[in-house]
């Protein structure tokens, strides 16, 4: 057997085994949590297929999925995984678990050869699963090989509430803008674009650009393959919406997902995108069934939902708690929707207000829009996806305004602090100036006192330089004026007839034939440092005979 035959043979045998895998009960699904960076909670899971073959043991999806595509059984196992996932959501629902969306990977083959929309709907109907508990992950290749067909199928699925994710984004050739017209809700950024803290600033900017652009297109962003805390904190800081990866959990059997949700296992709070409180949505409508349909529509968006049956009650709800976005009916008994939103604007100008109405009384709407009472006017019956994205946009707008306000407040606070600081500083300077004025005044006072003394006084600085001579000293020794600035030891012999030894405080000497006693008086050391301040030499005239 030649070397090339071995892989070909293995492929043949493996292919044959794979086509029997369903019948032999060798396939199963594992589930990997998809976690919100806003709430930290598991919001969904990705279904990942595993094959344990009786003959070949564990075969990786990287090997058997392309094989299934080549040997023609991809449609069959694709339909199997859709059905399994639907059964699992129903099982979780009946076990009382909160809604959890299962995202199923769809092969390009399922688009090309099968009728994806029909297959998905068949699985939903057969199992009784809620379409909004199901998501599908499709790749760019699948979309772009026959864009028209893909678009039609995805539109159909999205219309019934199935979430569409673009898988492995970044590995294909298309840009987000090329996908703009595709009906998708979420972008799964491939793990090669999930930078760690050690990554270059350029690769972080690429990830940030993908996130910003996706948000600009009203798409949410999930980062795949998150393994480290560094990746997590970078993603959170750059506004990513969800993460999936080994950091939180590897793919696990359904039972372990249930345990994690019940526990609940959540992301550490320090990694969550900063939000002081939960987004709050106020729904106002006099029809009970509309309120419950809207509540159902928004229940998985993570908003805190508050409802009111009319304008008066709506105002009451607004008084009870902070609200970010209001969606109000127009025609209600008592107060009209526009009147209610007008009052809401006057009382809570920061709220973002939308009208959802079946009636269009043009003039009052134009007036309300023009005076800024309403941000958007939407009509009943509504399109679920459109309404969801309008409300999401309203929250983003509100958060942007909040952020601006926060920044403005921060700047104002910083300015106030700066002003207080400069005030304190100028106060300090003023006090310092006053003190030095005082010192100068007292120095001048001391100097004047010394000048008025009838005794000759010479001042020496700590180094022994002659620094000062009072009036009497200048009268007695006129040459002293030239000696100021000279070293006393050098100048004194000429001036006083001898040096003055440092050790002895009194020395008798004669000047101009008269007897003087030189008294050396050290000046008080100044300050805590006890610095030497120099000496004063007093020349006290002696009665003749007193001198030695």
Interacting residue ranges for Mg ion, rule: CB under 5 A: 105, 137, 167-168, 224
How many Å apart are CA 343 and CA 325, to the nearest integer? 14
Cβ nearer to ligand C2E, comparing 82 with 291: 82
In total, the chain counts a number of residues equal to 548
Cβ-Cβ contacts under 8 Å for 287 (sequence gap 6 or more): 329
Cβ–Cβ < 8 Å for 242, 35 = yes
Distance, CA of 487 to chain centre: 69
Which of Mg ion, ligand C2E, none has residue 539 at its interface (CB below 5 to 8 Å by kind)? none
Q: How far is the CB of 40 from ligand C2E (least distance, A)?
A: 18
Cβ nearer to ligand C2E, comparing 107 with 238: 107
**Any bridge partners for residue 514, and if so which?**
511
Of 170, 245, 310, 311, which lies in the binding site for ligand C2E, with binding defined by CB under 6 A?
Answer: 245
* Candidates 13-21, 55-63, 332-340, 439-447; binding stretch for ligand C2E (CB under 6 A): 55-63
Q: Any contact of residue 225 with ligand C2E (CB under 6 A)?
A: yes
Site for ligand C2E in 111-170 (CB under 6 A): 137, 167-168
Q: How far is the CB of 137 from Mg ion (least distance, A)?
A: 4
Closest CA to 160 of 393, 389, 378, 385: 385
Name the closest residue to ligand C2E (Cβ).
Answer: 245
Closest CA to 216 of 60, 392, 51: 392
Query: Packing angle between helix 116-127 and helix 147-159, nearest 10 degrees?
Result: 20
Backbone angles phi, psi at 175, to 5 degrees: -100, 165
Cβ nearer to ligand C2E, comparing 38 with 137: 137
Of 23, 58, 60, 513, which lies in the binding site for ligand C2E, with binding defined by CB under 6 A?
Answer: 60
Cβ nearer to ligand C2E, comparing 68 with 496: 68
Q: Give buried/exposed letters for 100-134 (b at 16+ CB in 10 A, else e).
A: bbbbbbbbbbbbbebebbebbbebbeebebbbbbb
Q: How far is the CB of 110 from ligand C2E (least distance, A)?
A: 7
Q: Any contact of residue 81 with ligand C2E (CB under 6 A)?
A: yes
Cβ nearer to Mg ion, comparing 207 with 336: 207
Q: Any contact of residue 65 with ligand C2E (CB under 6 A)?
A: yes
Closest CA to 285 of 311, 323, 304: 311
Which of ligand C2E, Mg ion, none has residue 107 at its interface (CB below 5 to 8 Å by kind)? ligand C2E
My answer on whether omega of the bond before 478 falls inside 30° of 0, hence cis, is no
How many Å apart are CA 313 and CA 318, to the nearest integer? 9
Backbone angles phi, psi at 229, to 5 degrees: -65, -35
How many Å apart are CA 108 and CA 74, to the nearest integer? 9
Cβ nearer to ligand C2E, comparing 107 with 470: 107
* Candidates 44-52, 209-217, 281-289, 357-365; binding stretch for ligand C2E (CB under 6 A): 44-52
Cβ nearer to ligand C2E, comparing 61 with 230: 61
Cβ nearer to ligand C2E, comparing 78 with 314: 78
List % helix, strand, coil for the chain (3-state, nearest 5): 50, 20, 30
Q: Any contact of residue 105 with ligand C2E (CB under 6 A)?
A: yes
* Candidates 2-10, 102-110, 204-212, 471-479; binding stretch for ligand C2E (CB under 6 A): 102-110
Look-up of token digits 């001048």? 444
Q: Any contact of residue 48 with ligand C2E (CB under 6 A)?
A: yes
Closest CA to 194 of 172, 212, 211: 211
Which of Mg ion, ligand C2E, none has residue 40 at its interface (CB below 5 to 8 Å by kind)? none
Which of ligand C2E, Mg ion, none has residue 246 at its interface (CB below 5 to 8 Å by kind)? ligand C2E
Site for ligand C2E in 246-265 (CB under 6 A): 246, 251
Q: How far is the CB of 48 from Mg ion (least distance, A)?
A: 8
How many Å apart are CA 183 and CA 452, to the nearest integer? 101
Q: Any contact of residue 229 with ligand C2E (CB under 6 A)?
A: no
Which of ligand C2E, Mg ion, none has residue 495 at its interface (CB below 5 to 8 Å by kind)? none
Q: How far is the CB of 135 from ligand C2E (least distance, A)?
A: 12
Number of residues engaging ligand C2E in binding (CB under 6 A): 23
Closest CA to 251 of 37, 26, 45: 45
Q: How far is the CB of 103 from Mg ion (least distance, A)?
A: 7
For the chain, how long is the longest CA-to-CA vector? 138
Q: Any contact of residue 32 with ligand C2E (CB under 6 A)?
A: yes
In eight-state DSSP terms, residue 499 is -
Cβ nearer to ligand C2E, comparing 72 with 485: 72
Q: Give, for 292, the enclosing helix (H) or strand (E).
A: helix 288-298
Of 17, 35, 45, 49, which lies in the binding site for ligand C2E, with binding defined by CB under 6 A?
Answer: 49
Q: Any contact of residue 61 with ligand C2E (CB under 6 A)?
A: yes
Question: C-alpha distances in angstroms, 4 versus 8, 10, 17, 166?
Answer: 7, 10, 20, 36
The 325-328 sheet, strands edge to edge: 304-308, 280-284, 325-328, 352-357, 376-379
Binding site for ligand C2E (CB under 6 A): 32, 47-49, 60-62, 65, 78, 81, 105-107, 137, 167-168, 224-227, 245-246, 251
């Amino acid at each position: 057997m030649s070397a090339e035959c071995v892989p070909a043979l293995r492929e043949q045998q493996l292919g044959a085994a794979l086509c029997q895998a369903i019948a032999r009960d060798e396939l199963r699904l594992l589930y990997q949590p998809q976690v919100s960076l806003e709430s930290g909670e598991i919001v969904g899971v990705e279904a990942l297929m595993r094959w344990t073959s009786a003959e070949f043991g564990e075969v990786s999806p990287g090997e058997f999925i392309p094989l299934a595509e080549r040997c023609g059984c991809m449609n069959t196992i694709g339909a199997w995984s859709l059905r399994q996932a639907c059964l699992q959501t129903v099982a979780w629902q009946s076990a009382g678990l909160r809604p959890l969306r299962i995202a199923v990977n769809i092969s390009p083959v399922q688009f090309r050869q099968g009728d994806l929309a029909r297959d998905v709907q068949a699985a939903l109907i057969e199992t009784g699963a809620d379409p909004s508990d199901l998501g599908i992950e499709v790749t760019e290749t699948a979309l772009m090989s026959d864009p028209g067909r893909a678009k039609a199928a995805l539109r159909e699925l999205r219309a019934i509430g199935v979430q569409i994710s673009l898988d492995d984004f970044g590995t294909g050739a298309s840009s987000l803008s090329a996908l703009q017209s595709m009906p998708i809700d979420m972008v799964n950024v491939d793990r090669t674009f999930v930078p760690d803290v050690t990554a270059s600033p350029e690769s972080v900017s690429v990830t940030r650009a993908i996130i910003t652009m996706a948000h600009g297109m009203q798409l949410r962003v999930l980062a795949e393959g998150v393994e480290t805390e560094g990746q997590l904190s970078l993603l959170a800081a750059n506004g990513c919406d969800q993460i999936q990866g080994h950091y939180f959990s590897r793919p696990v059997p359904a039972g372990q997902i249930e345990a994690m949700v019940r526990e609940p296992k959540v992301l550490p709070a320090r990694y969550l995108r900063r939000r002081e409180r939960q987004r709050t949505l106020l729904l106002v409508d006099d029809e009970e069934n509309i309120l419950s349909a809207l509540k159902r529509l928004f229940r998985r968006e993570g908003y805190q939902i508050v409802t009111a049956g009319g304008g008066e009650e709506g105002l009451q709800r607004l008084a009870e708690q902070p609200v970010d976005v209001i969606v109000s009916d127009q025609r209600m008994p008592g107060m009209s929707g526009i009147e209610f939103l007008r009052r809401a604007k006057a009382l809570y100008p920061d709220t973002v207000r939308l009208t959802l109405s079946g009636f269009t009384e043009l003039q009052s709407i134009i007036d309300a829009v023009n005076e800024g009472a309403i941000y958007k006017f939407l009509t009943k019956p509504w399109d679920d996806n459109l309404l969801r994205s309008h409300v999401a946009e309203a929250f983003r707008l509100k958060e942007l305004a909040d952020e601006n306000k926060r920044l403005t407040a921060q700047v104002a606070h910083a300015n106030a602090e700066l002003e207080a600081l400069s005030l304190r500083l100028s106060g300090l300077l003023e006090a310092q100036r006053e003190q030095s004025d005082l010192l100068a005044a007292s120095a001048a006072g001391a100097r004047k006192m010394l000048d008025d003394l009838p005794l000759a006084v010479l001042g020496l600085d700590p180094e022994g330089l002659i620094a000062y001579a009072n009036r009497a000293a200048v009268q007695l020794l006129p040459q002293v004026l030239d000696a100021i600035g000279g070293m006393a030891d050098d100048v004194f012999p000429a001036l006083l007839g001898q040096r003055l030894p440092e050790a002895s405080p009194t020395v008798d000497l004669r000047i101009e034939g008269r007897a003087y006693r030189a008294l050396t008086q050290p000046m008080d050391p100044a300050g805590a440092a006890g610095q030497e301040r120099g000496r004063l030499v007093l020349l006290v005239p002696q009665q003749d005979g007193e001198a030695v």
